[in-house]
Structure 1
Amino acid sequence: MFPLGTALVPGAELPLRVFEPRYRQMLTDHLDDSDEPPRVRFGVVLISRGFEVGGGEVRCDVGTIADAEITGRLPDGRAALRCTGRQRFRVVEWLADDPYPRARVEALPERAPSPEHLARLDALDGRLHSLMRRRLEAAGEDPGPVIAALSVIDADPATADISPIHRWAARVVSQPHDQQRILESDDPAAQLDVLDDVMAGMEARAAFGSI
């Protein structure tokens, strides 16, 4: 397990640098070097109180399995990782942090969004594109390439098996509190409620010139 100051939504990418001895040991114990580049899987949970370095933090119990690619590793075990969130889980039992954080977990099932849910998501996406167009045009920039890039991200086959609601959240939701709310919501309607709150906040900040 890797407790962090941010949550990892399925479909989101997260760069990590491993330098603490306990996590260097975790990589050594679980590294799969049968492929190139080497990979490792571990759970990511948000720290609700405390700090990433040193231990003793209070952790959330709902997190995400990260599929991590090792992009660089030094002889002393320090490493650079590029992680992608895959599957939500709930911690059943925290084990002793010996030699690194460990837990027993259960996978959380994902309910497929209905046509009504997808219609709500499409409306949110329309609001996002409109906001981005206004912001970029106000700055004298062409919004076309940015909007096109978002379409390419949406079509990434590497995340095709992940809920479209999570994929959308992965590129829009940046605050750990909101990311955790998404992770802890099992119902697509509840997930969309969180995204609607996030979108309304972005629109409000844009109206007052702070975004």
Structure 2
Amino acid sequence: MPGYRRASDLPQLIPVFPLDGALLLPGGELPLQIFEPRYLNMVDDAMTGDRIIGMIQTRGGDKARPKLADVGCAGRITSYAETSDGRYLITLTGVCRFEAGEELNLKTPYRQVRASYDRFEADLAEDEGAQAAEDARTRFAHALKRYLNRRELDIDWETASQAPLEALVNSLAMGLPFDPAEKQALLEAADLTGRFDTLTALLEIDAMDDGDDEGHSLQ
């Protein structure tokens, strides 16, 4: 994303939106409907600043103020609209993952943390058209078909076969109904190859009881 080439270009203090089951990945787009007053306030403040919000999951603790996961993803508000009943419809575009450090004790109604991007600075690099070996793509396609069949879901296979690997993996990782722990594993995968392998494994684990081996090839 323009303007963010190094970890130091990103804000070190960011508001966070804890939302289990919601996954934002670098380069991905996450539409959100905001209606809680504290998060309306958060969006207002972000829109007057750098437009950065950190999406993060929780890991237990007090239900009213659960512990935050160790890793989240910073996104920039790239689309914004207001509805007649006071809701905000926004889109966050993923910029870079971060490690959630100290949570600041501030008077804002929403939570804020010190974010460290150093471990994930490669998220800011230009896409170099990563590829996967043919056998890995075929294995992935077979597992995906079984997964979708079990849930009576479908995708446009022609479009999927032509999509760049990063776009395909990230859109499926964000869009498929994995549980929060699985979403976190996808988020924390070291790189695109690791995310591809994790996604394939999750699809295969889910489809282990499905005997349908018919598949599609994702070239």
* Shorter-chain TM band: 0.5 to 0.7
Partner of residue 177, structure 1: 181
CA gap 1:177/1:169 in 2 versus in 1, 3 angstroms: farther
Compute the RMSD of aligned alpha carbons. Answer: 3.8
The verdict on how the C-alpha distance between 1:187 and 1:146 changes in structure 2, with shifts beyond 3 A counting, is closer
Aligned length: 184
Please, which runs of 5 or more residues in structure 2 have no aligned partner? Answer: 1-15, 213-219
For 1:136 and 1:61, locate their aligned partners in 2 and report how far apart those are by CA, in whole Å: 30
Rounded Cα–Cα distance in structure 2 between residues aligned with 1:204 and 1:43: 35
Letter matched to residue 16 of structure 1? L
Query: Share of identical aligned residues, percent?
Result: 25
Give the aligned partner of residue 197 of structure 1. Answer: 201
Q: 1:14 maps to what in 2?
A: 30
Q: Secondary structure at the match of 2:59?
A: strand
Q: Name the CA shift for 1:75/1:93 in 2 (closer, same or farther; >3 Å).
A: farther
Consecutive unaligned residues in structure 1, runs of 5 or more:
34-38, 156-163
The residue identity in structure 1 corresponding to 2:67 is: V
Matches within 5 A, 1:1-211: 1-6=16-21, 7-31=23-47, 40-49=51-60, 55-74=64-83, 77-96=86-105, 98-99=107-108, 100-107=110-117, 108-110=120-122, 118-120=131-133, 122-131=134-143, 146-151=156-161, 154-155=163-164, 164-165=165-166, 168-172=169-173, 174-175=177-178, 176-186=180-190, 190-207=194-211
**TM-score, normalised by the number of residues in structure 1:** 0.67
Residues 148-193 of structure 1: CA deviation (Å, up to 9, x unaligned): 22246x35xxxxxxxx457514314542212211222325664444
User: Relative to 1, partners in 2 of residues 1:74 and 1:132: Cα closer, same or farther, differing over 3 Å?
Assistant: closer
